[in-house]
Amino acid sequence: MIPRLQITGLTKAYPSVVANDGVNLTVQPGEIHAVLGENGAGKSTLMKMIYGTVQPDAGHMLFDGEPMLVRNPQAARALGIAMVFQHFSLFDTLTVAENVWLGLDGDLSLAAVQAAIVEKAATYGLEIDPARPVHTLSVGERQRVEIIRALLTNPKLLILDEPTSVLTPQAVEKLFIVLKQLAAEGCSIVYISHKLHEIRALCTACTVLRGGKVTGVCDPQAESNASLSRLMIGQEPPALPQRADLSGAVVLSVSGLRVPAEDQFGTDLTEVTFDVRAGEVLGIAGVSGNGQAELVRLLSGEDVRAPLGTIRLGDTDISRATAGHRRAVGLHLVPEERLGRGAVPTLGLSHNLLLTRGEAVGKSGWINLKQLRAQAEGIIGRYRVKAGGPTAPAKSLSGGNLQKFIVGREIEARPTLLIMSQPTWGVDVGAAAQIRSQILALRDAGCAVLLISEELDELFELSDRLVVIAKGRVSPAMARGDATVEKVGTWMSGLWGSEAAHA
């Protein structure tokens, strides 16, 4: 059988790193092939070379046995290669059909595109109304739009980058049905994910990258999570310690919080009520876009429109307090956006400490640069951050290493309450395990932790109690022992029955 895609000796080097070093990859027709690796392993660079956004320095590629020279994504699509990126590229104010139309090469009319969407949606069970504005769609529905847009090019090879990071468990099951149907029809799929159980359930082959090199090729269905981890990071992630509930007094109390969204495409918060206690992790589950971003802004002080008395830190009403005041009384935040919100991209790591830490600032406002660099070096060492020293710009780090630095910066501030939004999003298994162990250590030291995550495995692993946010409403709390994937998945659709009256 002639491989659909055959890559031999592909190499791409940048001034400071060799991203891909002699990579070989073979994908057969109708195969769902996983590409697995930790942050910085070279997965993204490899996909960019296949899709034509980056040109290799050495090596060659064959597509259906013919030499493959891809100068740009248009050339890739002409060959039959389509890619669905992790971050969607849709215009909120346009309809589904208009978004799909803009993304297609050719001279199809809008009416023809609408008809094609309906036909493709019916064929693969991806129900979507082509006339709906994108801003009215859920995150899962937006992903359907991206997939349909890719399928309308009739691809021979479909690349999916972290496709389930924004989906409920039920939506993941539906996506897998679609992908298996495509593979049965002969379409090859390259599947990038950090979720080892998904790779083992879906994929029939797997290529593992570490440090830009291939460290193994295997059948993931014959492997365990532990053996895949060993291929990817050289070891198994350490087991997280479990303990009895030792939570103490209420640290954060949110009561009857109702605030309309500032953004016209945002989510209104409606009667949000929950509390977080000292020495516990309260997890908030939910599909992205259901009010998490609005809630974080209100809790952190970026948005100070909360009615008085609705947000309290201990005995202090912080509903209208500034972000600086909230940090002064012990509230710290690890935001979802690392670059631009968690760190200034062009500033060095040491100067990024000044965003939330002031130990190196004297009474007269002068910065003690020696102390600041030493502080940054300490975090880099203790949290095993791979960086070019304390002056390395934040944007020069991989996502996982920058996240470890930000987590270290906030943990070492000794917060009373730490809010963490998607702390391991897009982070490899090794870095995720390290961050999760630090969260539990912080909890065991008596800190209250509010963990907002779309990773159910992470929430089940770390949370002492769980709530679900859906359409701006928060469910009743449940103990981790009472939580199941099915129950949380149902609640993520806003269905918590008669209990909703107590939310």
> How many domains does the structure of the chain reveal?
2
Residue 396 reports pLDDT greater than 80: yes
What digits encode the pLDDT tens for the residues 133-142?
988 887 678 8
Please say if the pLDDT value at position 500 is more than 50: no
Q: Are residues 78 and 111 in the same domain?
A: yes
Q: Give pLDDT tens digits for 397-420.
A: 877 789 899 999 999 999 999 999
**Residue 408 within any structural domain of the chain:** no
- The mean pLDDT of 246-271, rounded to a whole number, is 90
pLDDT grade for 167, boundaries at 50, 70 and 90: low
pLDDT at 236: 60
Is 71 in the same domain as 178?
Answer: yes
- CATH number of the domain where residue 286 is located: 3.40.50.300
pLDDT at position 412 is 94
The reply to whether 72 falls in a domain is: yes
Distances (CA, A) of 30 to 161, 173, 277, 471, 491: 18, 19, 51, 38, 35
| DSSP codes of every residue in 87-133 | S----TTSBHHHHHHHT--S---HHHHHHHHHHHHHHHT----TTSB
- Do 139 and 199 lie in one domain? The reply is yes
Count CB atoms within 10 A of the CB of residue 60.
13
Query: pLDDT, tens digit, for every residue of 354-372?
Result: 999 999 999 899 999 999 9
Residues 200 and 300 occupy one common structural domain: no
How far is 167 from 146, CA to CA, in rounded Å? 14
Domain match, 204 and 136 both: yes
- Listed residue (478, 475, 477, 470) closest to 494, CA to CA: 470
In this prediction, residues 16-33 reach a mean pLDDT of 94
> What confidence tier does 469 reach under pLDDT thresholds 50, 70, 90?
very high
Q: Provide the angle, in degrees to the nearest 10, between the axes of the packed helices 369-382 and 399-411.
A: 110
Q: Are 255 and 118 within one domain?
A: no
In which order are the strands placed within the sheet that holds 205-210?
81-84, 157-161, 188-192, 32-37, 205-210, 213-218
Alpha carbon distance 480, 301 (integer Å): 29
Shared-domain flag, residues 220 and 277: no
Rounded to whole angstroms, the Cα distance separating 437 from 454 reads 18
Averaged pLDDT for residues 92-100: 92
| Residue 278 resides in a domain | yes
Last residue of a domain, one of 199, 233, 267: 233
Q: Say what the pTM is.
A: 0.70
Across the strands, what pairs with 27?
A: 5
Beta-bridge partners for 449: 281, 418
Q: Helices then strands (H, E): number in the chain? A: 16, 21
Nearest to 210 by CA among 39, 32, 61: 39
Domain closes at, from 233, 265, 295: 233
Region 236-263: mean pLDDT is 80
Q: What is the pLDDT of residues 204-243, one digit of tens each?
A: 999 999 889 999 999 999 998 888 888 877 766 556 566 5
68 and 114 fall within a common domain: yes
Residue 105 placed within a domain: yes
Q: How far is 10 from 60, CA to CA, in rounded Å?
A: 6
Per-residue b or e along 479-489, where b marks 16 or more CB atoms closer than 10 Å to that residue's CB: ebeebeeeebb
Residue ending a domain, among 198, 233, 268, is 233
Per-residue pLDDT for 444 more than 60?
Answer: yes
Is residue 389 included in any domain, yes or no?
no
| Residue bearing the bigger pLDDT, 293 or 6 | 6
Residues 213 and 260 in one domain: no
**Residues for the chain: how many in total?**
503
Instruction: Say yes or no: 275 and 154 in one domain.
Output: no
Residue 503 pLDDT greater than 60, yes or no = no
Domain containing residue 314: 247-330+415-424+447-503
Do 228 and 271 have their domain in common?
no
Asked if residue 345 is part of any domain, the answer here is no
Write down the pLDDT at residue 241. 60
Same-domain status, 191 and 299? no
Q: Name the token pair of 284.
A: 């908030």
3-state secondary structure (DSSP) of residue 412: coil
Residue 110 falls inside a structural domain: yes
461 closest CA partner among 423, 495, 490: 423
Q: Is residue 335 part of a domain?
A: no
